[in-house]
Amino acid sequence: MLARHALPDPEALAAAVAARDRAALARSLNLLDDKRPQARRAASRFLATLPGERLNTAGHLIGITGPPGAGKSSLTSALIEVWRRRQLAVGILAVDPSSPLSGGALLGDRLRMLAHDQGGSNVFIRSLACRGEFGGLSAEVWPMSLAMLAAFDIVLIETVGVGQKEIDISKMSDTTCFVAQPASGDSIQFLKAGIMEVPHILVVNKEDMGAAARKTLTELRTTLKKQIDPDGWQVPALSVSATTGSGIEKLADVIDSHRRWLTEHQLLATRRKRFQGEWILKRLREEFGRFGIEQLGGEPLLFESLTQRQGSPFDLYDSLRDQFLANWKRTT
Which stretches of the chain bind ligand GDP, using CB under 6 A? 66, 68-74, 96, 98-99, 102-103, 106, 205-206, 208-209, 241-243
Give the whole-angstrom CA distance, residue 286 versus residue 303.
15
Buried b or exposed e, range 14-31, using 16+ CB within 10 angstroms: bbbbbebeeebbebbbeb
Longest Cα–Cα distance of the chain, Å, equals 66
Of 96 and 278, the one with the shorter C-beta distance to ligand GDP is 96
Of 161 and 277, the one with the shorter C-beta distance to Mg ion is 161
Of 17 and 169, the one with the shorter C-beta distance to ligand GDP is 169
Look at residue 108 and give the partner it binds from ligand GDP, Mg ion, none, a contact being a CB closer than 5 to 8 Å depending on partner kind: none
Provide the minimum distance between the beta carbon of 213 and ligand GDP in the complex, in angstroms, as a whole number: 9
Residues 100, 129 contacting (CB under 8 angstroms): yes
DSSP code string of 29-50:
HHHHT--SHHHHHHHHHHHHHS
Select the residue whose beta carbon is closest to ligand GDP and give its number.
103
Provide the minimum distance between the beta carbon of 63 and ligand GDP in the complex, in angstroms, as a whole number: 13
Packing angle, helices 37-49 and 22-32, rounded to 10: 130
Binding residue for Mg ion, selected from 28, 49, 77, 99, defined by CB under 5 A: 99
Classified as helix, coil or strand, 328 is helix
Select the residue whose beta carbon is closest to Mg ion and give its number.
103
Provide the minimum distance between the beta carbon of 108 and Mg ion in the complex, in angstroms, as a whole number: 11
Buried b or exposed e, range 173-191, using 16+ CB within 10 angstroms: bbbbbbbbbbebeebbebb
Of 227 and 243, the one with the shorter C-beta distance to ligand GDP is 243
Look at residue 276 and give the partner it binds from ligand GDP, Mg ion, none, a contact being a CB closer than 5 to 8 Å depending on partner kind: none
In terms of Cα–Cα distance, which of 143, 73, 136, 124 is closest to 101? 73
Number of residues counted as binding Mg ion (CB under 5 A): 5
Residue ranges that bind Mg ion, judged by CB under 5 A: 72-73, 96, 99, 103
